[in-house]
Chains A and B, each alone.
Chain A
Amino acid sequence: MKGNSSNSGNPQQGQHSASAGTLAASPRSRPRPRLAVFKFASCDGCQLSLLDCEDELLAAAEAVEIAYFPEASSRMEPGPYDLALVEGSITTPHDAQRIQEVRRCSRFVVTIGACATAGGIQSLKNWAHHEDYLKWVYARPEFISTLATSTPIADHIRVDYELRGCPINRHQLLEVILAFVRGQRPKLATHSVCLDCKLKGTVCVEVAQGIPCLGPITHTGCGAICPTYDRGCYGCFGPAAQPNCRSLTDHCLQTGTSASTLLPLLRNFNGYAPEFREASNRVEALSAAAASVKEPIDE
């Protein structure tokens, strides 16, 4: 889907093509595709979404062989895997190495959740000095080996599909797994949260109540939960397709939302997603420019 191609010289390529047929064929007649679930810097919530499938879990376990899923089972089988679900972002030198291993032993890599697709809430450190963060959090920071940034998986390896959300929607997860099992490309909608509000009959909280809402620029997937409970969308599913962040943020600023309200909205779970990142950087710059103009007048 996106990301660099640092892994293009994959030494195990031949091994992967040997298992290619299993995914394309019906699960009834061929060996089941082997599924692995890997965790990087994350809260585990997206992996739990798979376990939360409950009613569908047994059927899912019939469709795929769950070969590696430490969160769920101590039975951990070695690769290669047909489908790797990757949760979490890259924040340590060790993880930066490990994700290359995941790519090498997996035919398809699907990232799940805001951490894996956008760097997660931990990417807030990308706007700060990570040594400061280390000092605030750890009693003995000298024992911690960490990178200066939290980055999405696609910044490190080629990713076949990115599933959005903090956390992901389990129905979408099943749809993605099944699509790979059937040899299809997953087809998930990319429109804004606004459409979901309208399908439910939820009245626009921005227009009717003046609540700042990221719905118009946020990717569908949650079912518009927050506006249904009278609060603005805070962008858990990241940017929608071609979001007009500039227009929305300009409008918010012009109609009384302060930069100090808008910034934490944009710099949230998906704050490091390129479109939201650019929008928050712009809001911050505008705010700083406004302050510098204002100061001499105040003096």
Chain B
Amino acid sequence: MSSKPSSEFPFSPPAPDSPANHNPDGTSLFLPRDDLNTLIGKLTADGYQVVGPRLEQEAIIYGEISGADDLPIGWTDLQEAGKYRLQPRGDQAFFGYTVGPHSWKKFLFPPVAVVATAERDGTGWKLDTPDAEPPKYAFLGVRACELAAIKVQDRVFLGGPYTDPIYQKRRNAAFIIAVNCTQAASTCFCTSMNTGPRCTAGFDLALTEISDGFLLEIGSAAGNAVASGLSLQPASDEQSGRGESARQQAVSQISKHMDTTDIRDLLMGNLQHPRWDDVANRCLSCTNCTMVCPTCFCSSVKDVSDLTGDHIDRERRWDSCFNMDFSYMNGAPVRNSIHSRYRQWMTHKLASWHDQFGSSGCVGCGRCITWCPTGIDLTEEVAAIRSSPSSGRSERPPISDAEVSAT
């Protein structure tokens, strides 16, 4: 979003009256199908690196896009716990899939980044923070749950007293073209998390795909400027109706639900529930769920030196609470069992995130369910605990044998 950061929260949605051509029901403008390419070309000409969905590695991933032909035209994804398969749709839809293995966080919060360098200088050190101009991204095809995820990461990286300059630069420069879902995967549960499937704020432009083109909404002044260069037409009632029923189709296809009632107290009051042992037997602690999660933000920092020891890069890499080393302190890992690591992840994501950031850490995209190699479904884990909660609340978590032996 190119909106000016406010003092309280940097990416508040634009005031309702600011964008022109914005009809509150979002169905006033129509972009013909062939003009999607014009939009991509215009963004490229404006200096944006357009990134969006591509067919690669037997999946729909996010990568650089040079034109509409790069999009996964006519392809969809079938998803279930632990399984993802591509399938032809039998039509020419550009955005006829749900969400894949990648998320936009890889662009805003790069998997590997040099945060500082040190160069030996005589008897001392010359310290520096690399400050190369990051790419100016235009994200094409951001779904409602992903807008919510970006908002969550905004709070993490920009919301507190310490802001992350790497994230901030990329975020401030980014242009967001949202796409409303017209179908849902079996792993989607955005309606439970109140994050979708309708895109309501946090975008510069939003599209709803119908067979002959797109219904277009404008969400910011920057979006308005880009839209003004397109040959937009007023949408007919018939087109608007088709868009509405396409969006409704996504809502009606959502079959997965998570009851979030008092979820913080439910989980924190059941830290000794036997279900944690059950899930620990299935969990590989492989980090897949945290890596595909669009809100997980953990990283570790390591100094990497050359052989002479005269040049050092301080490198930040994505890390995960599922790694034993991640909780290594005072000679031993604090969370020395899969049991304790899974519990840490889920109670943070769904419970203590509320204490820390004022919202859930889960946006209901379902990636952690699809991309878990053994198909662990966090909604089922929550349901299992809810169905037979422990009697006591806020018990002290038990110390496992493994943890005792490590100390």
**Interface residues in chain A, defined as those with a beta carbon under 8 Å from any beta carbon in chain B:** 56, 59-60, 63, 174, 178, 182, 187, 189-192, 194-195, 198-204, 206-210, 213, 215-217, 230, 241-244, 246-248, 251, 255
Residue B288 contacts which of A198, A209, A242, A244 (CB distance < 8 angstroms)? A198
Q: Is the CB of A247 within 8 A of B325?
A: no
Q: Is the CB of A174 within 8 A of B371?
A: no
Cβ of B218 within 8 Å of any chain A Cβ, yes or no, is no
At the interface with chain A, which of B25-33, B55-63, B266-274? B55-63
Complex formed: what's the CA distance from A248 to B317 in Å?
A: 26
Q: A201-B102, A216-B286 are in contact. Are A206 and B373 (CB under 8 A)?
A: yes
Complex formed: what's the CA distance from A217 to B283 in Å?
A: 11
Q: Which A residues touch B83, using CB under 8 A?
A: 207, 210
For A227, the closest partner residue in chain B by CB is B57
Cβ of B84 within 8 Å of any chain A Cβ, yes or no, is yes
Q: Is the CB of B284 within 8 A of A247?
A: yes
For B81, the closest partner residue in chain A by CB is A207
For B324, the closest partner residue in chain A by CB is A241
Q: A56-B307, A199-B318, A217-B284 are in contact. Are A244 and B85 (CB under 8 A)?
A: no
Q: A174-B307, A199-B318 are in contact. Are A207 and B370 (CB under 8 A)?
A: yes
Which of A208, A215, A255 counts the most B-chain CB atoms under 10 A from its CB? A208
For A251, the closest partner residue in chain B by CB is B374
Q: Is the CB of A195 within 8 A of B307?
A: no
Q: Is the CB of B287 within 8 A of A191?
A: yes
SS class, residues of chain A in contact with chain B: helix
0 or 1 for each of B310-325: is its CB under 8 Å from A? (1 = yes): 0000000111100111
For B370, the closest partner residue in chain A by CB is A207
Q: Is the CB of A242 within 8 A of B285?
A: yes
Q: Is the CB of B284 within 8 A of A216?
A: yes
Complex formed: what's the CA distance from A192 to B83 in Å?
A: 20
Residue B371 contacts which of A56, A207, A209, A217 (CB distance < 8 angstroms)? A207
0 or 1 for each of B274-316: is its CB under 8 Å from A? (1 = yes): 0000000111111110011000000000100101110000000
Q: Is the CB of B373 within 8 A of A199?
A: no
Q: Which B residues touch A207, using CB under 8 A?
A: 82-84, 101, 370-373
Q: Is the CB of B58 within 8 A of A208?
A: yes
Q: Is the CB of A191 within 8 A of B318?
A: no
Sample 8 A-B pairs with CB under 8 A, ordered by A number.
A190-B324, A192-B285, A194-B286, A195-B319, A198-B318, A203-B57, A204-B288, A244-B281
Q: A178-B307, A201-B61 are in contact. Are A242 and B287 (CB under 8 A)?
A: no
Q: Is the CB of B373 within 8 A of A251?
A: yes
Q: Which A residues touch B302, using CB under 8 A?
A: 187
Q: Which A residues touch B288, using CB under 8 A?
A: 194, 198, 204, 216
Cβ of B127 within 8 Å of any chain A Cβ, yes or no, is no
Q: Is the CB of B284 within 8 A of A192?
A: yes
Q: Which B residues touch A216, using CB under 8 A?
A: 284, 286, 288, 373
Q: Which B residues touch A230, using CB under 8 A?
A: 57-58
Q: Is the CB of B308 within 8 A of A59?
A: yes
Which of B106, B308, B317, B323 counts the most A-chain CB atoms under 10 A from its CB? B323
Q: Is the CB of B82 within 8 A of A215?
A: no
Cβ of B365 within 8 Å of any chain A Cβ, yes or no, is no
CB distance from B44 to the nearest CB of A (A): 22
Complex formed: what's the CA distance from A25 to B287 in Å?
A: 38
Q: Which A residues touch B86, using CB under 8 A?
A: 208
Q: Is the CB of A208 within 8 A of B57?
A: yes
Q: Is the CB of B85 within 8 A of A208?
A: yes
Known: A60-B307, A192-B285. 14 other contacts (CB 8 A): A178-B309, A190-B324, A192-B287, A194-B288, A201-B61, A203-B61, A204-B84, A207-B101, A208-B86, A230-B57, A244-B284, A247-B283, A251-B374, A255-B82
Cβ of B148 within 8 Å of any chain A Cβ, yes or no, is no
For A182, the closest partner residue in chain B by CB is B309
Q: Is the CB of B58 within 8 A of A203?
A: yes
Cβ of B111 within 8 Å of any chain A Cβ, yes or no, is yes
Complex formed: what's the CA distance from A248 to B285 in Å?
A: 11
CB distance from B108 to the nearest CB of A (A): 14
0 or 1 for each of B44-60: is its CB under 8 Å from A? (1 = yes): 00000000000011110
Residue A215 contacts which of B56, B283, B286 (CB distance < 8 angstroms)? B286
Q: Is the CB of B373 within 8 A of A241?
A: no
Contacting residues of chain B (84-124) with chain A, CB-CB under 8 angstroms: 84-86, 101-102, 106, 111-112
Complex formed: what's the CA distance from A60 to B309 in Å?
A: 12
CB distance from B1 to the nearest CB of A (A): 24
Complex formed: what's the CA distance from A148 to B299 in Å?
A: 46
Q: Is the CB of B59 within 8 A of A203?
A: yes
